[in-house]
């Protein structure tokens, strides 16, 4: 059996969680503590970008890394990662002199293999060892994978890596890839494995790879605390303990736990990573995990809808995430066009000559309840947005969010108006066309109050009172009328408020409204 190396990539792959903004002291302290664990390889960060920020584990050149790893610890190899989607100019990679990193790990997708080969060749000439990392290894055909291995064999790299980019490779498939790699890689090249944990396969696959007892050396990538985008990565502390118990290694676990306590816990509390339903769905649909993260933040899709939407994304787009495409597919799924002209005409008749009060779920509904009730008389139609508002006996409930409507349908005597994106609704009174009232701004595309105001304008309503539209705050716990309605938009509160203000200004051109409870929207 060859030697098994553990490689820590917390500051690099874990950096997707916090935009690599660990802080200068943490970056330096992390390196010292990780050296004390006895692991063999340490990935300091990414080689990319134009400018150096000492608070981020992103480095525009080789020299900028030197300051955070000095003094280097004997016995540990220092590496950085370079992405062929945006490689730094070769002139920034100065010849190896032992003062900075020892090696560079190059990641590339299938369409960049030619550029990657030439780049790797030049890096070796500069004196660094290289690791060749096949991004999305499971997306290669057997023929493509073997041809890629055989091509890079000519360079005799230090390592080649199976990369489970989407966290979906299960053990049977993984072992087949490992056998395929081992059978075709040149002698003396280590086989590496980089896992993502969307289907909780990371530990089992790494364990299986070690237990294959291959003659060649192995490299297992892992992160302290499993830190990583979405579902995270293989936990370094857990796999190091497994190695200690089964292979007579002597990794020190305590420094890893200190890293968790001193550097990562605070990040974890505000930027959670770990197993989740959206990441599971992204993996089972062979799609980039960023689709799951982006769609989950909207908090509008049920499991069924989430799954259907991911299934609808063409295969050629699933592997390459972009925010624009994610929004395009989300909007397309949500629109589900229907002709609602008859519904709007009926609403127009029902609301003619009535005062309309719109209730949003802000906390001022409680603090100003009496003042709100004083506005309600026999000529007032009360419409609540995405919640029941039973304290105010609404005549209608308007909903644009299936997750919210699940808590509404069948539980109110109010008439229910829903939008056409809600394909799973089983009981409602009328449905209106989602696209007709959706915002052009993706962040607030289905804001229920904005959509309701546009619907009322279409129905010819002239004047509306609004209560409970307080605005988003950076403190999640003071935002909502009921804890059941809680959803954390604190990170993008200012952006959402600004976009909603823009929409309100435009809507006011077609319908007059006034806020009867305090609000941050100054229009």
pLDDT, tens only, 375-405: 999 999 999 999 999 899 999 999 999 999 9
What's the rounded Cα separation, in Å, for the pair 132 and 117? Answer: 9
Cα–Cα separations (whole angstroms), residue 140 to 135, 136, 164, 201: 9, 7, 12, 19
What's the rounded Cα separation, in Å, for the pair 353 and 277? Answer: 47
User: 447 near 459, Cβ under 8 Å?
Assistant: no
User: 311 near 292, Cβ under 8 Å?
Assistant: no
Residue with tokens 């032992």: 98
pLDDT, tens only, 399-427: 999 999 999 999 999 999 999 999 899 99
* Cα–Cα nearest to 407, from 382, 420, 421, 389: 389
The CA-CA-CA angle for residues 489, 318, 10, to 5°, reads 60
* Cα–Cα nearest to 512, from 450, 470, 462, 471: 462
What's the rounded Cα separation, in Å, for the pair 10 and 357? Answer: 52
**Considering all CA atoms of the chain, what is the largest pairwise distance in Å, rounded to the nearest integer?**
86
In Å, how far from its chain's centre is CA 184? Answer: 35
Residue with tokens 């056998």: 179
Stretch 157-166: mean pLDDT, rounded?
96
Cα–Cα separations (whole angstroms), residue 82 to 28, 131, 163: 20, 10, 14
pLDDT, tens only, 457-494: 999 999 999 999 999 887 654 455 454 544 555 567 88
* Cα–Cα nearest to 420, from 451, 394, 442, 443: 451
Stretch 201-222: mean pLDDT, rounded?
97
**Local structure of 8: helix, strand or coil:** strand
Query: Given a cut of 70, is residue 431 above it in pLDDT?
Result: yes
Report the pLDDT value the prediction gives residue 483, as an integer from 0 to 100.
47
pLDDT, tens only, 76-95: 999 999 999 999 999 999 99
pLDDT, tens only, 284-306: 898 988 999 899 988 888 888 89
């Amino acid at each position: 059996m060859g030697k098994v190396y553990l490689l820590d990539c917390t500051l690099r792959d874990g950096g997707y969680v916090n935009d690599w903004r660990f802080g200068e002291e943490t970056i330096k302290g992390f390196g010292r503590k990780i050296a004390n664990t006895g692991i063999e390889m340490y990935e300091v960060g990414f080689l990319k970008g134009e400018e150096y920020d000492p608070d981020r584990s992103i480095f525009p050149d080789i020299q900028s890394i030197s300051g955070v790893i000095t003094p280097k610890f004997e016995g540990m190899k220092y590496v950085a990662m370079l992405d062929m989607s945006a490689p730094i100019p070769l002139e920034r990679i100065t010849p190896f002199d032992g003062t900075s990193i020892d090696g560079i790990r190059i990641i590339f997708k299938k369409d960049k293999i030619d550029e990657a080969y030439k780049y790797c060749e030049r890096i070796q000439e500069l004196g660094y060892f290289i690791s060749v990392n096949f991004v999305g290894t499971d997306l290669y055909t057997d023929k493509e994978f073997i041809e890629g291995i055989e091509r890079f064999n000519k360079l005799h790299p230090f390592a080649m890596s199976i990369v489970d980019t989407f966290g979906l490779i299960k053990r049977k498939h993984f072992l087949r890839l490992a056998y395929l790699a081992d059978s075709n890689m040149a002698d003396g090249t280590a086989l590496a494995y980089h896992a993502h944990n969307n289907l909780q396969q990371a530990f089992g696959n790494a364990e299986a790879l070690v237990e294959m007892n291959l003659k060649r050396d192995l490299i297992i990538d892992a992160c302290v605390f499993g830190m990583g985008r979405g579902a995270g990565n293989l936990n370094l502390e857990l796999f190091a303990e497994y190695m200690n118990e089964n292979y007579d290694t002597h990794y020190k676990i305590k420094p890893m736990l200190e890293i968790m306590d001193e550097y990562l816990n605070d990040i974890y509390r505000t930027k959670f990573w770990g197993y989740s339903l959206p990441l599971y769905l992204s993996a089972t649909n062979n799609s980039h995990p960023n689709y799951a993260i982006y769609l989950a933040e909207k908090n509008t899709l049920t499991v069924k809808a989430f799954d259907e939407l991911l299934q609808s994304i063409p295969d050629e787009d699933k592997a390459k995430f972009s925010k624009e495409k994610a929004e395009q597919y989300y909007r397309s799924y949500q629109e589900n066009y229907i002709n609602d002209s008859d519904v709007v005409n009926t609403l127009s008749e029902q609301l003619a000559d009535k005062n309309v009060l719109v209730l949003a779920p802000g906390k001022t509904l409680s603090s100003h309840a009496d003042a709100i009730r004083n506005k309600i008389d026999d000529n007032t139609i009360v419409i609540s947005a995405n919640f029941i508002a039973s304290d105010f006996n609404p005549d209608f409930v308007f909903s644009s969010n299936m997750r919210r409507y699940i808590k509404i349908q069948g539980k109110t005597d109010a008439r229910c108006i829903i939008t056409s994106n809600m394909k799973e609704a089983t009981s409602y009174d009328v449905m209106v066309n989602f696209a007709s009232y959706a915002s052009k701004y993706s962040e607030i595309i289905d804001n229920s109050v904005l959509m309701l105001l546009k619907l009322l304008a279409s129905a010819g309503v002239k004047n509306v009172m609004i209560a409970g539209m307080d605005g988003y705050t950076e403190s999640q716990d003071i935002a909502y009328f009921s804890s059941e309605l809680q959803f954390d938009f604190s990170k993008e509160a200012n952006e959402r408020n600004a976009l909603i203000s823009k929409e309100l200004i435009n809507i006011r051109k077609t319908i007059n409204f006034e806020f009867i409870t305090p609000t941050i929207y100054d229009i």
